[in-house]
Structure 1
Amino acid sequence: MVHSTKTNNLLVEATQFIQNCYDELGMSNEKQLERIEDIKNEIDTTGTYTHKSFELTHGAKMAWRNSNRCIGRLLWNTLHIFDARDVRTAEDAYEKLIEHIDFATNEGRIQSTITIFAPRNNGVDPIRIWNHQLLRYAGYEEADNVIGDSASIEVTKMCEEMGWRGAKTPFDILPLVIQETGKQPKLFEIPGEIIKEVPIIHPELDGVSQLNAKWYAVPIISNMRLEIGGIDYPMAPFNGWYMGTEIGARNLADPDRYNLLPKIAEIMGLDTKSNRSLWIDKALVELNIAILHSYQQAQVTLVDHHTAAKQFKIFEENELKSGRAVTGNWAWLIPPLSPASTHIYHKPYNNEISTPNYFYQGDPRED
């Protein structure tokens, strides 16, 4: 029999999850009590417990619904779940990740997807991925400038130390780095044919296409921990689809990322010598117009920030009707472009964290 504060806490968290999950799925109190008793016996015997498939599926959806930083939670119940808890080798994990990328991309009709690998057991992670996102551009430090994405400099150096060599263009897709417990991490190249990228063009400014900028279709976050009922899943990559401003007001616009605003301003013939010309604002709007136009032309799912805010309002109304309190992180929910034009800007949100949820976790390189 395993008894400790840790297992007692696990049973409390498991009980709370089972009650909420089963209530939402319309399952009887009798089934809840029966399942909780089974979990108690399993914890007493092994120190942990295993989720049933439907518990894992609904738990992952609940985690998305509880994600305070996400404006796109209206569609939480449409999440596709791939159960990869039986995977133990880096090679098998790579195959599952390739399937995820291909399925989620869906030729541009993006499908919200999560692939859940083996849970943490007694502090040990059976398998981990070192990448921040499954698809991400490399970043190379060259003398006084950076080629590519400066956010990827460290992981790019790591991949190079492991033998990888990129073409040193601004848009080299990084390989996947996967590690089994107790073994050295392994590098895996992503097949180019499954990576959908969108060339950035503008409906009126021809010069934008000459910048040869592009971005990948699907943002698949891969470095967060999924927690369901006290069980941690340290490798559970997931994706929705992009909101335009994530690319147009951050990734391609930030001075310490791709810094395209001065180039857009030059194409527009703006006066960049004075802040009072509002050249930054004008260039920012046109870059975001280019992102929306480009993804539409490429037939890749993407939402503008005004539509996303309206969808979030519907989500808030749905949650209140369901008797659930709406939580949110205001600083993350407001879009980086024209935030005051959304209802979100004008109201406070309770940033209390509920579980199931997705959490940041330590870098496996430092474990």
Structure 2
Amino acid sequence: MTVVDNEPITFDVDAAEGFLRMFHIAHPEAGPVGPRLAAMRDEIAETGTYRHTTEELAYGARIALRDSGWCTSGVPWRRLKVRDLRGFRNAAAVAGECVEHLRLAANGGEIRPLVTVFAPDTPDTPGPCIWNEQLIRYAGYGDGTGDRRYTRFTDAVQGMGWRAPATPGRFDLLPLVVETAHEGAKLFTVPPDVVREVLLEHPELPWFGQLGLRWHAVPVITNMRLTIGGITYPAAPFNSWFVGSEIGARSLADENAYGAARPVAEALGLDTSTERSLWRDRAVVELNRAVLHSFDLAEVTITDHHAESRHRLSWLRSRQRTSGNRPAFRLDPSAALRARTGGPARFSPAPSETTRPHSPGRLAELLRQRAGG
């Protein structure tokens, strides 16, 4: 039995039946559900799992994105493009299609929401997984340069062979880490020419541009697993578009990330000696204004946190009760840990794989013992 994240791969038949009933209710043109349920049960009896049709996969991914709360305001979830790449299991192929996902999603600045679904977990062959939290993340170094949230991840990929630029910068692209059961964890460089970045300036503060801040245009989330009808797709990157405060308040202002609030406050002449002056709050407002202004100026899709708050309230009022039968994007604690620390690996070696390779002499001895027995 294959073990992933120290848990065996299991299958939920009830979830499969629940999802297929849900799909057929939403798609009466697909015909009665009975024959599909019978075919699913036969397939599970023969192989231990079943395969979604293209239509079932697309519907499940759309519902998962809508119900999981990751669908930002304005995203037409019913028309969400789902890329069916379930035949891709090798690390290089997965990495290459992640880059293609980024290219398609960037779409000249008019961000296109996408989901790319790679091979699922099966009883015999687990699917690939991606360690990175997002396809585009910036390195963090021990001296405080860069994104401090990813200092340990940066250390880990350096230990795996990644080389930082000769002069490390604040916005060095981290490599993509793709892990498969048969290849282990592999590093892949994200080509800079497919990464659209927005240089940040302020609508009223001419000195702001001298801070040298920038951010990437497309948030492609890569370390959440997609579950649909009992089947788990451990690699299913998806994107909508940024909420401005995700960049300004969480990534740039936060002391544990870029810590940009303090230099902005100092440039504004604020009293940073005490938190009671609320210098941090005022700096965050200007950072958020700069992000929205710069993305609009660059004609890159973005939304603000006020519009997003209204959208989330509407979503909370209308969302379905959580159920194990409903499709969802989920983040496992182990996946969250990998995205920040660069480990542990998802695939635990089987007992036969934990032993050292036998020497030819030792193999001959074992064969003689077996023959004598």
TM-score by length of 2: 0.82
Rounded to whole Å, the distance in 1 between the matches of 2:145 and 2:274 is 28
AA in 1 matched with 2:158: E
AA in 2 matched with 1:273: S
2:119 is matched with which residue?
Answer: 118
2:158 is matched with which residue?
Answer: 160
Rounded to whole Å, the distance in 2 between the matches of 1:74 and 1:209 is 31
Q: Which entry has the higher C-alpha Rg, 1 or 2?
A: 2
SS of the equivalent of 1:288 reads helix
SS of the equivalent of 1:141 reads coil
Rounded to whole Å, the distance in 1 between the matches of 2:314 and 2:98 is 32
2:344 is matched with which residue?
Answer: 365
Instruction: Establish whether residue 23 from structure 1 lines up as the match of residue 15 from structure 2.
Output: no
Instruction: Establish whether residue 221 from structure 1 lines up as the match of residue 221 from structure 2.
Output: yes
Task: Give, in angstroms, the shift of residue 31 of structure 1.
Answer: 2.5
Rounded to whole Å, the distance in 1 between the matches of 2:118 and 2:203 is 43
Instruction: Establish whether residue 39 from structure 1 lines up as the match of residue 18 from structure 2.
Output: no
Q: Is this contact kept in 2: 1:197–1:217, CA < 8 A?
A: yes
Rounded to whole Å, the distance in 2 between the matches of 1:13 and 1:27 is 22
Q: Is this contact kept in 1: 2:241–2:301, CA < 8 A?
A: yes
Rounded to whole Å, the distance in 2 between the matches of 1:253 and 1:8 is 42
Post-superposition Cα deviations, 1:139-175, rounded to whole Å, max 9, x if no partner, equal: 1112xxx111112122212221222112210100111
SS of the equivalent of 1:125 reads coil
Name structure 1 gaps, 5 residues minimum. 1-5, 320-324, 328-350
- Equivalent runs, 1:146-185 vs 2, <5 Å: 146-167=144-165, 168-185=168-185
Q: Is this contact kept in 1: 2:73–2:303, CA < 8 A?
A: no
Instruction: Establish whether residue 57 from structure 1 lines up as the match of residue 58 from structure 2.
Output: yes
Q: 1:74 to 1:241 in 2, by over 3 A?
A: closer
Q: Percent of pairs identical after alignment?
A: 38
Q: Is this contact kept in 2: 1:244–1:288, CA < 8 A?
A: yes
- Equivalent runs, 1:287-326 vs 2, <5 Å: 287-313=287-313, 315=315, 319=318, 325-326=319-320
SS of the equivalent of 2:288 reads helix
Q: 1:7 to 1:94 in 2, by over 3 A?
A: closer
Rounded to whole Å, the distance in 1 between the matches of 2:9 and 2:249 is 45
Task: Give, in angstroms, the shift of residue 275 of structure 1.
Answer: 2.8
Rounded to whole Å, the distance in 1 between the matches of 2:28 and 2:291 is 42
> Is the deviation greater in 76-85 or in 51-60?
76-85
Q: Is this contact kept in 1: 2:175–2:188, CA < 8 A?
A: yes
TM-score by length of 1: 0.83
Task: Give, in angstroms, the shift of residue 26 of structure 1.
Answer: 3.2
Task: Give, in angstroms, the shift of residue 53 of structure 1.
Answer: 0.4
AA in 2 matched with 1:10: D
Q: Is this contact kept in 2: 1:179–1:185, CA < 8 A?
A: yes
Matched pairs, number: 329
Name structure 2 gaps, 5 residues minimum. 1-7, 336-342, 347-373
